[in-house]
Structure 1
């Protein structure tokens, strides 16, 4: 719990004056609540709260005179009718009053630090008894508006005064929900929590005007005590009516009202405890500011309200069923258990006067709320970012190799995995949301799935993204049900109506939903998120509620392979417990393998030890998380468009993917139109990363490469060399005139990494020989470049002779490298044979050269 340093240093010094003020107030108060507007009962005058009047005068002086030259002044576009007397020396809150008039708002926002610097005794008094002094603050505000802007103080075409409201923010102490007890009732405080449910905006009777049904007297300014409150007695001394009242709606005051249910933040829940909830009441300009899934800070006061769910029907007694049971005449009193237990009729609620997102206090930036905003002009950008932030963003934009540097700054505590970091970075930038002429929404959010062996930092990636983005939800697949992921329908205890409780995907709307242990989810729970992943909506038809809710979120999932370890001999679909519809909805699949490599293991171990030993000093990313957040927020306002060249490249790449899918023969990952849309989204995200308004062909090639490296490479992990060897044997038999026979032999296969390593080694040797021949004098040799096949095989066997122990190993390795050469020549087209194949196949030894257009992997 952070404490404001100004409060901490000065509170003790002002405690004596504060106690004297409170003692003075006790002498003038007749009873609690008499300072609030109420009717004069029986000719008795209302008691005057002298302390409240003094506080009202002091607060009015604060509004009239406080100046702060270091804060933002109103701009010309916010002041449509700037008065001639307005100068840079105008008091701060008079400037805000002009902004209120031009924007049509009725709430004045007061910084608590301003109040404390102006008069610390005044600030302490407001903090200790905010609910008591709040009417005096509003009276001072109305006097302030009347003195400076009389036309705005009254409703147009009417003599009725406007209702103005005070909203105080900037308190140094943020309380947890578990700290709210009855000792803090009526105090000004700020609390934090996650919004789980919001009600619709309703009109609330704030101050009622009643007519006596017996003598027709009018009773005004009857404040409602969080329920429908009638006057206690008629002011007419001859009437004495207490029950028969009629509300006059046209003369009463109604305000906007909304109830928000918040829950403890995940980091604040003690071990072994359930998260606690609290109802927050917001009014006027604060309604519709908090939505389900937001982490917000509420500033206001703790109040005691009637528990409507426990009250039952009007007039019924609050007693348990045991007391109401009929007892026989001779039973008598049988004990305390038969007497019944009286239930509680009140509960704690929070009356909020200010609602703001919690990431503002932590320095984070919500990068996804402005996705529908266009910031093409400098004025629109200045409205979001300051001049220093814009300068920093432009400097990052012009940084050489920005793509690789941003990737290097993502998740610095995780060593390596640059491809995974690239996919997560593009997921944060996202594609462009589109709407077809038929009204169909095309999603721009990118879904990423990480599949890997245990201990490969899958969950760390999810935790990093949840901490990086303010609006994000972390959940586990096994511990989440279908209703918990999407939405559930519950019955409201107070109204009895059915309401919708938001699930994880709804809470992560305009954010990211991180689902760990995705493979452990039940099949019916996976089916529940089909619609949310592609259409980004959740349809509900339960308990008479038919609704379609938004779930515009990116899904970052982590899954373990079947059996715990990824089996290269199987395909991607055979390694994970996912259905084909779910797999097709992920834009990127990343497979992380735990392989034994001496150099990589040493680097990882050294990095982990440095993180444990030096902590933050061991991490030196080029860009801080705040800089990346501001840049992403700036880039997401750009709507890149496809060019003709980029469209042609997209079509060609998609055609190649489909051809490779068909020619693969029973491939496990089926290429569909969704993969074409994935390439479009990835291309738009790369264009946003470079702050480019057009999607260029180079961005499409990078998107296709990323898609291929994440999906296609997994499908080609195991290279089948039997086909190449059989083709070569069949060709040799045909040249000799022998009949083609199937020879029984062991299956020859090779891992993809080993195949790439051997092919790169052979290509390197051939190019080295070609470079040596090219440097020699052309007259000294008439031999073409390259090497004979037999010489190349002998050279390779000499390179690996230390790895062979037996003669069987020698023959197996020679057969392996010979099949690799045949595949490179006849299928991949990497090598070219020079020479004419003679009738004697056994003596044919061609010269091998590398294809001039080949680029090693």
Structure 2
């Protein structure tokens, strides 16, 4: 009572004014208890059930100036010291059973809210005498005998005379970026009364509560499962609370200010250093991790990147590097991935008798970070369709089994995959060979086509770098001295922990945009984008121009470039970096395989103007000639037979041509 009067007089008064409709609990800072009496704080740690009972009893006996009784009010302890705040893998230890502790983690799944009985009143069906039984555990406890006739029932539950509370279960996991690969450990938590519905799947939380034990199964083994009886919930206010930015701030400012060299080059050399070359891809990934910023959730600031290419080109190593570097990240493989695994879904759960729960997938779990999805070409159709909304609006909507929820997926997607036939076909456009729907492709700001084409000079450099990296890794493992060249082949220019703090600080504190007074930058962006729009001239037969999506992509990437300098102003140099990447991406996807030139229509439709013209000519030849085959068509057109074969296969796939006896072709 003395503690409440000394530290929480005003808070108790506010609780009394708003109890029970608007407020039902008194939140008490553990550090206040510790300052008042260290022994009292220690008792809270060791005997939390007893101490909660004492504090709540003191709250009921508190002399209030208004005619209010706080009979059902709860006391909720929060802000435990760091040595009591644990990661999920540290919790389920025998020494923690029955103790007050705090868990820091990410919500993987939440159940629906259901009523739970606290004190059950039973009526004897023989004599009608009511008997009250306090409830503990998961199973309903019935009276042993009637207090009236002293018989052993039968009894029926009197729901109106019983005491109830709202109850919800949740599963909290170790955040994905802190699992060191693999799936994070989890723990189930129970919430009741005013703690329900305080978070959604995907949220980062710190929960204070008491560690309980539960029998693992019904065969009475000696092993027990653990769960938490939650007593307080605090959602993270910062997106990167776990990262100690202050420790690295001097180094971050030195890098951003150019004191250690070009900051862009330093970051490029710090991303996947064992992978030789592909600096454009590394710069794009760097800008993706720093990101642009969202305007009130209406305009996304995150850039999505697709790496498509031949097997063995190192695409997966980029995803693994980003998963290690990004302050928040998830990693998923497209093989067997479901919609729930990628976005979120209502799923049949295993929280006791609850039938459905809301489970977060990779895009939601990486909120404010990067989701890395490998083998995206192998994701099933339903899962891919679920990505559309998550990528553009950055929301995941779930409407199933009575669950109607909208979860945040303010996430950048880095995806990798292989062409339709495993390797690129030189006779088809790259866009045709990406086995993704056009609507999903349009969500990517940048697409890089990584091909494995023999090049003697480049191959020698790659092989030398691979051998150097492997030798350096061996010498490092054996504790031998490394040359500067060897060190650079395996170690990043910027240490991983510094770069993570750098990204976190920039995303939290820096909000760059093109200033309205900076006419030169605005005009430069406008004119350069207009050049892209008119990349193929003004002829009316030219393909569809670049869409306005690319302009937004350029701005997002330019903002990220400014963030690397820790600048709130986007400059022409930032726009130039963004433009360079967008142009290279568009040219890689939009190259006409016949002319070797860029064709914007390839980006939009997957087919070049020259291909359309040539296939139109093929159809005309088939229509004009009897008993015509592939060789004759190629001879008339004076072109390569393999190229004609490819065109005919595409026309067959579209139902324009069919083949009869002896390879004779006919129009449908």
User: Quick check: TM above 0.5?
Assistant: yes
- Retained in 1: the 8 A contact 2:327–2:503? no
Q: Do the aligned partners of residues 447 and 198 (structure 1) sit closer, same or farther apart at CA in structure 2, a change above 3 Å counting? A: same
Q: What residue in structure 2 maps to residue 573 of structure 1?
A: 431
The equivalent position to 2:468 in structure 1, one of 597, 602, 606, is 606
Q: What residue in structure 2 maps to residue 641 of structure 1?
A: 513
Tell me the CA shift for residue 620 of structure 1.
4.4
Give distance in 1, aligned partners of 2:534 and 2:108.
48
Q: What residue in structure 1 maps to residue 440 of structure 2?
A: 582
Q: Do the aligned partners of residues 561 and 238 (structure 1) sit closer, same or farther apart at CA in structure 2, a change above 3 Å counting? A: closer
Q: What residue in structure 1 maps to residue 323 of structure 2?
A: 466
Q: Do the aligned partners of residues 140 and 534 (structure 1) sit closer, same or farther apart at CA in structure 2, a change above 3 Å counting? A: same
Q: Kindly report which structure 2 residues correspond to 1:591-630, keeping only aligned pairs within 5 A, or say none.
A: 591-594=449-452, 595-596=455-456, 597=458, 598-614=460-476, 618=487, 619-630=490-501
1:136 aligns with 2:79: no
- Retained in 1: the 8 A contact 2:274–2:466? no
1:453 aligns with 2:310: yes
1:163 aligns with 2:74: yes
Q: What residue in structure 1 maps to residue 503 of structure 2?
A: 632
Q: Kindly report which structure 2 residues correspond to 1:782-797, keeping only aligned pairs within 5 A, or say none.
A: none
The equivalent position to 1:536 in structure 2, one of 394, 407, 419, is 394
1:282 aligns with 2:191: yes
Deviation by residue 1:199-241 (Cα, 9 ceiling, x = unmatched): 356676657899999999998x956545666887899999999
Tell me the CA shift for residue 403 of structure 1.
2.9
Q: Do the aligned partners of residues 305 and 296 (structure 1) sit closer, same or farther apart at CA in structure 2, a change above 3 Å counting? A: farther
Q: Do the aligned partners of residues 386 and 230 (structure 1) sit closer, same or farther apart at CA in structure 2, a change above 3 Å counting? A: farther
Tell me the CA shift for residue 655 of structure 1.
1.5
Tell me the CA shift for residue 531 of structure 1.
2.7
Q: What residue in structure 2 maps to residue 261 of structure 1?
A: 171
Tell me the CA shift for residue 666 of structure 1.
9.9
The equivalent position to 1:398 in structure 2, one of 208, 232, 257, is 257
Q: What residue in structure 2 maps to residue 304 of structure 1?
A: 214
Q: What residue in structure 2 maps to residue 805 of structure 1?
A: none
Tell me the CA shift for residue 579 of structure 1.
3.4
Q: What residue in structure 2 maps to residue 818 of structure 1?
A: none
- Retained in 2: the 8 A contact 1:488–1:502? yes
Give distance in 1, aligned partners of 2:27 and 2:236.
23
- Retained in 2: the 8 A contact 1:192–1:358? no
Q: Do the aligned partners of residues 718 and 296 (structure 1) sit closer, same or farther apart at CA in structure 2, a change above 3 Å counting? A: same
- Retained in 1: the 8 A contact 2:290–2:560? yes
Q: Kindly report which structure 2 residues correspond to 1:333-348, keeping only aligned pairs within 5 A, or say none.
A: 348=225
Tell me the CA shift for residue 680 of structure 1.
1.7
Q: What residue in structure 2 maps to residue 425 of structure 1?
A: 286
Deviation by residue 1:588-639 (Cα, 9 ceiling, x = unmatched): 1123344442234313421233134316984543433333333333322433
- Retained in 1: the 8 A contact 2:245–2:501? no
Q: What residue in structure 2 maps to residue 701 of structure 1?
A: 576
Give distance in 2, aligned partners of 1:199 and 1:420.
41
Q: What residue in structure 2 maps to residue 197 of structure 1?
A: 109
Q: Do the aligned partners of residues 175 and 550 (structure 1) sit closer, same or farther apart at CA in structure 2, a change above 3 Å counting? A: closer
Aligned-residue Cα RMSD (Å) equals 5.7
SS of 2:448's equivalent?
Answer: strand
SS of 2:321's equivalent?
Answer: helix
Q: What residue in structure 2 maps to residue 672 of structure 1?
A: 547
TM-score with structure 1 setting the length:
0.53
Tell me the CA shift for residue 694 of structure 1.
3.0
Deviation by residue 1:479-504 (Cα, 9 ceiling, x = unmatched): 21345434444446756655444333
SS of 1:427's equivalent?
Answer: helix
Give distance in 1, aligned partners of 2:326 and 2:405.
28
SS of 1:601's equivalent?
Answer: helix
Tell me the CA shift for residue 166 of structure 1.
4.2
Bigger RCO (CA 8 Å, 6+ sep): 2
Tell me the CA shift for residue 174 of structure 1.
6.2
Give distance in 2, aligned partners of 1:466 and 1:355.
31
- Retained in 2: the 8 A contact 1:429–1:636? yes
Give distance in 2, aligned partners of 1:101 and 1:393.
47
Q: What residue in structure 2 maps to residue 762 of structure 1?
A: none
Q: Do the aligned partners of residues 495 and 244 (structure 1) sit closer, same or farther apart at CA in structure 2, a change above 3 Å counting? A: closer
Give distance in 2, aligned partners of 1:190 and 1:238.
45
The equivalent position to 2:342 in structure 1, one of 466, 470, 485, is 485
Deviation by residue 1:128-152 (Cα, 9 ceiling, x = unmatched): xx6xx333222455699899xx67x
Tell me the CA shift for residue 702 of structure 1.
1.7
- Retained in 1: the 8 A contact 2:106–2:204? yes
Structure 1 residue ranges without an equivalent (≥5): 1-59, 65-82, 84-93, 311-341, 371-383, 723-743, 748-857
- Retained in 2: the 8 A contact 1:227–1:306? no
Deviation by residue 1:705-757 (Cα, 9 ceiling, x = unmatched): 111123325545979599xxxxxxxxxxxxxxxxxxxxx9999xxxxxxxxxx
- Retained in 2: the 8 A contact 1:477–1:520? yes
SS of 2:439's equivalent?
Answer: helix
Give distance in 1, aligned partners of 2:174 and 2:505.
31
Deviation by residue 1:515-572 (Cα, 9 ceiling, x = unmatched): 1112233455434422322233344555566665543322110112344444566432
Tell me the CA shift for residue 678 of structure 1.
0.9
Give distance in 2, aligned partners of 1:627 and 1:393.
7
Q: Do the aligned partners of residues 240 and 202 (structure 1) sit closer, same or farther apart at CA in structure 2, a change above 3 Å counting? A: closer
The equivalent position to 1:656 in structure 2, one of 523, 531, 535, is 531
1:106 aligns with 2:26: yes
1:410 aligns with 2:271: yes
Q: What residue in structure 1 maps to residue 567 of structure 2?
A: 692
- Retained in 2: the 8 A contact 1:193–1:296? yes
Give distance in 2, aligned partners of 1:721 and 1:291.
50
- Retained in 2: the 8 A contact 1:588–1:707? yes
Give distance in 2, aligned partners of 1:432 and 1:174.
30
Give distance in 1, aligned partners of 2:537 and 2:400.
43
Q: Do the aligned partners of residues 545 and 134 (structure 1) sit closer, same or farther apart at CA in structure 2, a change above 3 Å counting? A: closer
- Retained in 1: the 8 A contact 2:306–2:448? yes
Q: Do the aligned partners of residues 275 and 627 (structure 1) sit closer, same or farther apart at CA in structure 2, a change above 3 Å counting? A: closer
- Retained in 2: the 8 A contact 1:212–1:245? no
Deviation by residue 1:345-367 (Cα, 9 ceiling, x = unmatched): x995512447899999xxxx954
Q: What residue in structure 2 maps to residue 476 of structure 1?
A: 333
Structure 2 residue ranges without an equivalent (≥5): 16-22, 598-636, 641-668
- Retained in 2: the 8 A contact 1:413–1:611? no
- Retained in 2: the 8 A contact 1:450–1:591? yes
Give distance in 2, aligned partners of 1:706 and 1:719.
24
Q: What residue in structure 2 maps to residue 511 of structure 1?
A: 369
- Retained in 1: the 8 A contact 2:271–2:282? yes
SS of 1:694's equivalent?
Answer: coil
Q: What residue in structure 2 maps to residue 797 of structure 1?
A: none
SS of 1:441's equivalent?
Answer: coil
